[in-house]
Amino acid sequence: MRREDLTHMAELITTGEIRMDEPMKRHTTLGIGGPAEIFVRPGDREELLRLLRYAAAEKIPVQLLGSGSNCLVSDAGVSGLVISLAGTLNHLTIEGDRVVVQAGVMLGHLVRRCRAAGLAGLESLGGVPGTVGGALVMNAGAFGAEISTHLTAVNVVNHQGRERRYAREDLSFGYRSSSFEPGEIIIGGEFKFPWGQEEQVAKASRLASRERKTRQPLTKRSAGSVFKNPRPDLAAGWLLDEAGLKGTRIGDAQISPQHANFFINRGSATAEDMARLIKLAAGTIKARFKVQLELEIRTLGFPRGFWEEAGLGR
Ligand SMILES: Cc1cc2nc3c(=O)[nH]c(=O)nc-3n(C[C@H](O)[C@H](O)[C@H](O)COP(=O)(O)OP(=O)(O)OC[C@H]3O[C@@H](n4cnc5c(N)ncnc54)[C@H](O)[C@@H]3O)c2cc1C
Coil/strand/helix, residue 181 = coil
**Ligand 1 nearest atom to the CA of residue 132, by list position:** 25
**Ligand 1 nearest atom to the CA of residue 140, by list position:** 11
What span, in angstroms and rounded, lies between the C-alpha atoms of 96 and 268? 47
CATH class given for the domain over 92-203: alpha beta
Catalytic residues: 176, 225, 296
Find out whether the beta carbon of 224 lies less than 6 Å from any atom of ligand 1: yes
pLDDT in tens, 54-98: 999 999 999 999 999 999 999 999 999 999 999 999 999 999 999
CA 129 to ligand 1 center in whole angstroms:
7
Q: Exposed (0-12), middle (13-18) or buried (19+): which is 80, by Cβ within 10 Å? A: middle
- For the chain, what percent of residues have pLDDT higher than 90? 85
Find out whether the beta carbon of 52 lies less than 6 Å from any atom of ligand 1: no
Q: Which of 288, 292, 313 is nearest to 230 (CA)?
A: 292
What span, in angstroms and rounded, lies between the C-alpha atoms of 314 and 312? 7
Find out whether the beta carbon of 104 lies less than 6 Å from any atom of ligand 1: no
Find out whether the beta carbon of 103 lies less than 6 Å from any atom of ligand 1: yes
CA 28 to ligand 1 center in whole angstroms:
10
Looking at residue 148, its pLDDT comes to 97
Residue extents of the structural domains in the chain: 3-84, 92-203, 217-310
Per-residue pLDDT of the chain (314 residues; tens, 9 = 90+): 777 888 889 899 999 999 999 999 999 999 999 999 999 999 999 999 999 999 999 999 999 999 999 999 999 999 999 999 999 999 999 999 999 999 999 999 999 999 999 999 999 998 899 999 999 999 999 988 999 999 999 999 998 889 999 999 999 999 999 999 989 999 999 999 999 988 888 888 888 889 898 989 999 999 999 999 999 999 999 999 999 999 999 999 999 999 999 999 999 999 999 999 999 999 999 999 999 999 999 999 999 999 998 899 86
Coil/strand/helix, residue 231 = strand
Looking at residue 93, its pLDDT comes to 98
Looking at residue 193, its pLDDT comes to 96
CA 139 to ligand 1 center in whole angstroms:
9
**Ligand 1 nearest atom to the CA of residue 71, by list position:** 29
Looking at residue 4, its pLDDT comes to 84
CATH class given for the domain over 217-310: alpha beta
CA 199 to ligand 1 center in whole angstroms:
29
* H helix and E strand count, the chain: 7, 18
Contacts of 248-255 with CB under 8 Å at 24 or more apart are 248/277, 248/280, 248/281, 249/277, 250/274, 250/276, 250/277, 250/280, 253/277, 255/281
What span, in angstroms and rounded, lies between the C-alpha atoms of 66 and 84? 5
- Determine phi and psi for 262, rounding to 5 degrees: -100, 120
Was domain 3-84 assigned CATH 3.40.630.30?
no
